[in-house]
Chain A
Amino acid sequence: MTHALKITNLKKTYDNKFQALKGIDLEVKKGDFFALLGANGAGKSTAIGIICSLVNKTAGDVSVFGYDLEKDREAVQEHIGLVPQEFNFNIWEPVIEIILNQAGYYGIERPVARKRAEELLKHLDLWDKRDEQAQNLSGGMKRRLMIARALIHNPKLLILDEPTAGVDIEIRRSMWDFLKKLNQAGTTIILTTHYLEEAESMCNNIAILNKGEVVESTSMKELLSRLQVETFVLDLKEPLDKLPDNCELTIKQRDSSTIEVELDKSRSLNYLFETLSKHNIRVMSMRNKTNRLEELFINLVEKSKNKNNNSATHEATT
């Protein structure tokens, strides 16, 4: 089966000897909505840069829909659309010109490009701003402009590098809807984000990078199933003076009317409520303490850090 993206042993060492990628392997299936997560400096943007021909690789192979980046760069580039992290359009150009010029770089004729640009800008609520200089747009509009620009040539693979950074909730939600529809229509999407709830709600598969290495690459479902304990924050109906003795649950008191309860994955929510009722604790409302993916992400990154520290200590002592 041809993958949308296949990366094998990809390495990148910058001129200053910084090793941004230490030989990563990654596979993204056609039609997937794939999350690429990692802390700042993990190597996400470098990997994306290499895939999009913005960064020269040191070693390894990259293929997009079966086309090898080294041997068939043009074909790879025709299939990819990129929404970069930083605004990188000419801020003095009008919105419509930015889109039409991008179409021109892909050899799309003006009349065709105009029609497509109109569709995209209307879809992304930017049509009224088409003649405005890009510098006059708000942050959210600039993000949407970059999405429209990335889609002008109908790419089969769309890569979004933190597309919703600094965007307000309303626009973020509308962008999520837009991207979900795009994915349902067949576009493979790779998303990097710091909003883990974004990755959890939209992506089917996930890879986590840490210090230039893939520490996890699996399905979102599989990853979330590894969560052993979930912590809930409960608002109580009546204030609680003292935590119950001999309680089967691990409970921490935040204040007189709020508690945090850890629930083992093997237990149901019914068990939680039954146990609390048994101790005369009545609950008004509840929520997750943290995003589930966030907990796993932190655990995996910590684990990888410890592993690296241990091997460094081992090397130092041998």
Chain B
Amino acid sequence: MKAAQKLIAFKTILSKEVMRFLRIWVQTLVPPAITMTLYFVIFGNLIGSQIGDMDGFKYIEYIIPGLIMMSVITNSYSNVVSTFFTAKMFGHIQEMLISPVPNHIILMGYIGGGMARGLMVGLIVTIVSLFFSSLTIAHPFITIAVVVLTSMLFSIAGLINAIYAKSFDDITIIPTFVLTPLTYLGGVFYSINMLSEFWQNVSLANPVLYMVNGFRYGILGVSDISPWASFSLLGVFIVAMYGFAYYLLKKGVGIRS
């Protein structure tokens, strides 16, 4: 395939994926907006007013970056895991497998679709947050870079989950038992400085902590972790997981008998 043809194939997969989640926007875009509104009301306004300032910011201001990041992570992941698994289950993944579209393009198309949904939901949640607090961005480049890379990483992770999944249960196990705990314990609602030294060290093993704090640094200018540590971790994870996803796709794990 020539480069121009590969670009057409990529655009086809990407637009198909974007059209898919836009077609079912009531299922894909509205629920995170409602959930995050409830977080803002309960944790931000009602409970937050009792907690006081954190790192020099009102509690609601402190948790906004974490909540935006949480919705980006969840939606990027769930978009790819559900669409790729459905394509496997109903067989329409075969449309791509019989065509000459290279595995890199398939990967990038699906990752792009997951990123599009994750970032769109992130934007919606950001807009919702403006009803509860003002928002100034301290470091725009870092903010955008961290959110884009995080959404990319979790789109790849969703794809790997979908490749291995054999039933609908398998695509809910990881989000429920791994992703949600890591996100909640990843500094979305608190600073790890509030924890004892032991639990601070344990928290440092949680990759989500680096992403949430990198994003918080971008928006608020404060963080428990150096932003460069966030970028390094994101870089290493993206390269490693992309390579692994490519290997699985090339080998045909879960998609070719």
B94 contacts across to A, CB distance below 8 A: 54, 82, 84, 88
> Is B166 an interface residue when CB atoms closer than 8 A count as contact?
no
A153 contacts across to B, CB distance below 8 A: 99
- Report B9-28 CB contacts with A as 1/0, cut-off 8 Å: 10111001001000100000
Contact B6 A107 (CB under 8 A): yes
> Is B196 an interface residue when CB atoms closer than 8 A count as contact?
no
> Is B4 an interface residue when CB atoms closer than 8 A count as contact?
yes
| Interface residue ranges of A89-145 to B (CB < 8 Å) | 89-93, 97, 100-109
> Is A66 an interface residue when CB atoms closer than 8 A count as contact?
no
- Report A50-90 CB contacts with B as 1/0, cut-off 8 Å: 00111110000000000000000111011010101011111
A88 contacts across to B, CB distance below 8 A: 90-92, 94-95
- Shortest CB distance B105–A (Å): 9
| Interface residue ranges of B70-125 to A (CB < 8 Å) | 87, 90-92, 94-102
- Shortest CB distance A310–B (Å): 32
> Is A31 an interface residue when CB atoms closer than 8 A count as contact?
no
A77–B100 CA distance with the chains assembled, in angstroms: 5
How many residues in A have their beta carbons less than 8 Å from beta carbons of B? 37
Contact B90 A106 (CB under 8 A): no
A90–B16 CA distance with the chains assembled, in angstroms: 11
> Is B1 an interface residue when CB atoms closer than 8 A count as contact?
yes
* CB closest chain-A residue, reference B102: A74
- Shortest CB distance B208–A (Å): 32
- Shortest CB distance A299–B (Å): 32
> Is B252 an interface residue when CB atoms closer than 8 A count as contact?
yes
> Is B134 an interface residue when CB atoms closer than 8 A count as contact?
no
- Shortest CB distance B98–A (Å): 5
How many residues in B have their beta carbons less than 8 Å from beta carbons of A? 29
Tally of A-B Cβ pairs under 8 angstroms: 89
Contact A82 B98 (CB under 8 A): yes
- Shortest CB distance A157–B (Å): 12
Q: State which of B9, B95, B98 has its C-beta within 8 Å of the C-beta of A107.
A: B9
A90–B99 CA distance with the chains assembled, in angstroms: 16
With A86-B91, A89-B92, A107-B9 given, is the CB distance from A53 to B97 under 8 Å? yes
- Shortest CB distance A259–B (Å): 50
Contact A74 B1 (CB under 8 A): yes
A103–B102 CA distance with the chains assembled, in angstroms: 15
Q: State which of B4, B19, B99, B256 has its C-beta within 8 Å of the C-beta of A105.
A: B99
- Shortest CB distance B243–A (Å): 20
A122–B157 CA distance with the chains assembled, in angstroms: 42
B9 contacts across to A, CB distance below 8 A: 104-107
- What does DSSP make chain A's interface, helix, strand, loop or mixed? loop
A86–B89 CA distance with the chains assembled, in angstroms: 12
> Is A14 an interface residue when CB atoms closer than 8 A count as contact?
yes
A49–B5 CA distance with the chains assembled, in angstroms: 25
With A90-B90, A107-B1 given, is the CB distance from A101 to B95 under 8 Å? yes
Contact A105 B101 (CB under 8 A): yes
A77 contacts across to B, CB distance below 8 A: 98-100
B98 contacts across to A, CB distance below 8 A: 52-54, 77, 80, 82
Contact B8 A90 (CB under 8 A): no
B99 contacts across to A, CB distance below 8 A: 77, 102, 105-106, 153
Contact A107 B8 (CB under 8 A): yes
A105–B10 CA distance with the chains assembled, in angstroms: 8
A93 contacts across to B, CB distance below 8 A: 16
* CB closest chain-B residue, reference A86: B91
Contact B5 A106 (CB under 8 A): yes
> Which residues from chain B sit less than 8 Å from chain A, CB to CB?
1-2, 4-6, 8-9, 11-13, 16, 19, 23, 87, 90-92, 94-102, 252, 256-257
21 A-B pairs whose Cβ atoms sit less than 8 Å apart in the complex: A15-B257, A54-B257, A55-B256, A74-B100, A80-B98, A82-B98, A84-B91, A86-B91, A89-B95, A90-B90, A93-B16, A97-B16, A101-B12, A102-B99, A103-B12, A104-B9, A106-B99, A106-B100, A108-B8, A109-B8, A153-B99
Q: Identify the 4 closest CB pairs spanning chains A and B, nearest first.
A: A107-B5, A104-B12, A88-B91, A105-B99
